[in-house]
């Protein structure tokens, strides 16, 4: 097991049967961020949702999670730290529960659709002692969170594609 305050890494990916332009448009619309969260891990967008994400922009979210003992609520501020339109971007936590946290999202054209990959690098909250107790909890919840987000994005995007046409944005 790595040291309690060591950088942890997780990666998730899914194939979505839509072109990268459609997936990009969906993922960079701030309203869709909370829309694809698990029901038991709700997030409320507090920042302006009228503008799409862009280099340097920020998302302010109210995040609720069930902790080992009680429900926890945080305000989280994420900043777009890397920006490569239609190919990927990174969201870095500026304020929130993690000691360090960055999510690099990559979109790759693949067999007529898009391979969506999220790579998360983080240091668990709570310092060395807190990390020992909550590391398994954080990892399990992160797995559930990203698997749900990917499956929900796939479901919604492919459903829209069936209605509007596979290449519609």
Q: Is residue 25 one of the residues assigned to a domain? A: yes
pLDDT of 54: 93
Boundaries of domain holding 102: 8-163
Would you say residue 3 lies in a domain?
A: no
Give the pLDDT confidence score for residue 138 in this predicted structure: 77
Handedness of CA 29, 31, 32, 34 (dihedral sign): positive
Instruction: Please indicate, yes or no, if residue 2 is contained in any of the structural domains.
Output: no
**Assessment of whether the complete model's pTM goes beyond 0.85:** yes
pLDDT at 56: 95
| 168 within some domain | no
| 112-165 tens-digit pLDDT | 999 999 999 998 887 766 556 566 667 788 899 999 999 999 999 999 888 887
Query: Would you say residue 3 has pLDDT above 90?
Result: no
Q: What pLDDT score does 129 carry? A: 63
Confidence of residue 12 (pLDDT cuts 50, 70, 90): very high
Entry field: residues in the chain: 169
How many angstroms separate the CA atoms of 152 and 4, rounded? 32
DSSP class of 47: S
For residue 145, being part of any structural domain is answered with: yes
Q: What number of other Cβ atoms are within 10 A of residue 132's Cβ?
A: 15
For the record, the structure tokens of 162 come out as: 């069936």
Distance from C-alpha of 127 to C-alpha of 6, rounded to nearest angstrom: 10
* CATH code, 120: 3.30.530.20
35-82 residue pLDDT tens: 999 998 889 999 988 878 999 999 999 998 766 566 788 899 999 999
Give the total number of structural domains in the chain: 1
pLDDT digits (tens, 9 = 90+) for 15-29: 999 999 999 999 999
- pLDDT, residue 146, reads 96
Task: Look at residue 1 and tell me if it is in a domain.
Answer: no
Question: Is 169 inside any structural domain?
Answer: no
């Amino acid at each position: 097991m790595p040291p309690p305050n060591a950088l942890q890494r997780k990666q998730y990916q899914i194939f979505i049967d839509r072109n990268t332009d459609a997936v990009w448009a969906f993922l960079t619309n701030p309203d869709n961020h909370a829309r694809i969260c698990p029901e038991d891990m709700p997030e409320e967008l507090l920042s302006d949702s009228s503008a799409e994400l862009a280099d340097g922009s920020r998302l302010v979210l109210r995040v609720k999670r069930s902790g080992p003992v009680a429900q926890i609520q945080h305000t989280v501020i994420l900043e777009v730290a890397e920006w490569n339109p239609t190919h990927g971007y990174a969201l870095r936590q500026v304020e929130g529960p993690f000691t360090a946290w960055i999510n690099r999202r990559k979109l790759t054209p693949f067999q007529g659709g898009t391979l969506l990959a999220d790579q998360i690098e983080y240091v668990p909250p709570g310092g060395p002692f807190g990390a020992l107790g909550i590391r398994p909890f954080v990892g399990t919840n992160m797995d559930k969170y990203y698997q749900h987000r990917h499956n929900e994005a796939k479901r919604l995007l492919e459903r829209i594609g069936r209605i509007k046409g596979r290449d519609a944005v």
